[in-house]
């Protein structure tokens, strides 16, 4: 196991935690590394059925554990009603048990009747590996090909086989078992298109036309991917005040891991091709910033920028002190024409907040252009954002 940045915060906290994240990001491994005094894995079908039939069993078992210790309940979304039992224990002043609850889907936990223990529990989100967690010996080519799920990126070649089944397992266990949609054929076609469009601006009408599914169904499927933590939505940049340029108001969508995206497209068993490299590298870097923002609790607002005139900025990071506008290039060479979108963005927002203009590249050395644009290799850029 690689030590995860999130582990230190969870282990050092005295509070109970609800830890959400997609399957195979390492939630269970992290929880077991904490040395729990009592562990329930609701992914185990026998245990799941036992607690479903007898919800009171949890309180009786924890009474036998005592008033102190760490309790881990894995896949809590399978029986959300157990949260009521957890609340009653946390509200008991004579009890000092601490809980770490994990879930791979936010859908059931967002229902109005589900008790999310407000004020009693801290919400954490776990993602695939961040660059800083594997910087020693990091292999960019492997990351771009198979993604950053720990068991796959750190595994041998045989581990890549599990990418083949990830989407199928998801469709079978999450979609069918939870009855999220009755039409698996439509959803499967949508998932394939989502992989193709990952990293691009979302156009519901175009997707609806391409796969012959009603637009509202496409919207529901998109929300379903978000609720099951398999997709991020990057909103369009919203400037303050009036601007002279018309800015696109479409979201950009990203599957949560480039390896899963590649597997859906059937291109994960060979190195990323030259025609795919730019798109995959851009998605990988944006995902790394998403992971950093959450794991370090930075509170950045992430967005993308595009004008009707064609000026684009791949990622906008709004921080307290400034806004970092980032253009992402997989190669090592950058020309002044590559900074046109950054110049457009700086003109729009530079009046009310300082703008740092970056071009992130796939390798090479840092540079500074005479127009103030800084060229950073991805390692330098991620270290600068982490600092």
How far apart CA 361 and CA 329 sit, in angstroms, is: 5
Among 155, 369, 384, which residue's Cα sits nearest to residue 285? 384
pLDDT at 112: 45
How far apart CA 71 and CA 53 sit, in angstroms, is: 21
62 exposure class (CB count in 10 Å sphere: 0-12, 13-18, 19+): buried
pLDDT at 179: 45
Whether the Cβ atoms of residue 198 and residue 265 lie closer than 8 Å to each other = no
Whether the Cβ atoms of residue 175 and residue 187 lie closer than 8 Å to each other = yes
pLDDT at 187: 76
Q: What is the DSSP string of 147-168?
A: -S-HHHHSS-GGGGHHHHHHHH
pLDDT at 190: 81
How far apart CA 197 and CA 306 sit, in angstroms, is: 17
pLDDT at 173: 59
How far apart CA 242 and CA 26 sit, in angstroms, is: 45
- Could you give the domains of the chain? 5-125 (3.40.50.300), 131-272 (1.10.10), 301-386 (3.40.1350)
Q: Which residues pair with 374 in a beta bridge?
A: 358, 368
pLDDT at 358: 97
Whether the Cβ atoms of residue 33 and residue 7 lie closer than 8 Å to each other = yes
At 123, which helix (H) or strand (E)?
A: strand 121-125
Whether the Cβ atoms of residue 327 and residue 341 lie closer than 8 Å to each other = yes
Give pTM, 2 decimals.
0.91
How far apart CA 223 and CA 233 sit, in angstroms, is: 10
pLDDT at 276: 92
Question: What tens-digit pLDDT sequence spans the chain (387 residues)?
Answer: 567 889 989 998 888 999 999 889 999 999 999 999 999 999 999 999 999 999 899 999 999 988 889 999 999 988 988 988 898 898 888 888 999 999 887 666 665 455 566 677 888 999 999 999 999 999 999 999 999 999 999 998 788 888 888 766 765 556 555 545 566 677 777 888 888 889 888 888 888 888 888 888 888 888 888 887 888 999 999 876 555 556 777 889 999 999 999 998 889 989 999 999 999 999 999 999 999 999 999 999 999 998 888 889 999 999 998 999 999 999 998 988 889 999 989 988 867 789 999 999 999 999 999 889 999 999 999 999 998
Contacts of 174 (CB under 8 A, 6+ apart): 104, 105, 180, 228
């Amino acid at each position: 196991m690689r030590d995860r940045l999130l582990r230190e915060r969870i282990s050092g906290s005295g509070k109970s935690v609800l830890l959400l994240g997609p399957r195979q990001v390492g939630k269970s491994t992290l929880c077991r590394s904490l040395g729990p005094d009592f562990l329930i894995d609701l992914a185990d079908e026998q245990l799941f059925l036992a607690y479903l039939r007898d919800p009171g069993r949890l309180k009786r078992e924890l009474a036998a554990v005592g008033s102190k210790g760490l309790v881990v309940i894995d896949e809590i979304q399978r029986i959300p009603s157990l949260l009521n039992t957890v609340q009653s224990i946390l509200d008991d002043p004579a009890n000092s048990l601490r809980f770490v609850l994990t879930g791979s889907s936010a859908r059931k936990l967002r229902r109005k009747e589900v008790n999310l223990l407000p004020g009693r529990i801290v919400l954490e989100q776990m993602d695939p590996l961040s660059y800083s967690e594997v910087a020693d010996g990091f292999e960019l080519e492997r990351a771009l090909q198979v993604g950053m799920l720990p068991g796959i990126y750190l595994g041998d070649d045989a581990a890549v086989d599990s990418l083949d089944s990830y989407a199928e397992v998801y469709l079978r266990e999450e979609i069918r078992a939870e009855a999220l949609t009755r039409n698996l054929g439509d959803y499967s076609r949508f998932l394939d298109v989502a992989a193709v469009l990952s990293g691009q601006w979302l156009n519901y009408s175009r997707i609806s036309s391409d796969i012959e599914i009603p637009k509202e169904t496409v919207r529901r499927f998109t929300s379903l991917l978000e609720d099951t933590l398999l997709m991020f939505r990057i909103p369009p940049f919203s400037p303050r005040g009036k601007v002279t340029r018309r800015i696109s108001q479409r979201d950009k969508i990203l599957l949560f891991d480039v390896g899963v995206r590649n597997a859906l497209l059937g291109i994960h068993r060979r190195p990323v091709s030259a025609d795919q490299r730019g798109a995959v590298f851009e998605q990988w870097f944006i995902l790394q910033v998403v992971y950093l923002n959450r794991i370090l609790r930075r509170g950045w607002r992430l967005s993308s920028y595009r004008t009707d005139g064609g000026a684009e900025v791949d990622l906008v990071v709004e921080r307290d002190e400034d806004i970092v506008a980032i253009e992402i290039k997989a190669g090592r060479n950058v020309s002044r024409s590559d900074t046109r979108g950054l110049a457009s963005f700086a003109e729009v927002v530079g009046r009310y907040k300082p703008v740092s203009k970056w071009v992130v590249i796939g390798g090479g050395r840092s540079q500074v252009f005479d127009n103030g644009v800084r060229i950073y290799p991805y390692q330098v850029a991620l270290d600068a954002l982490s600092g």
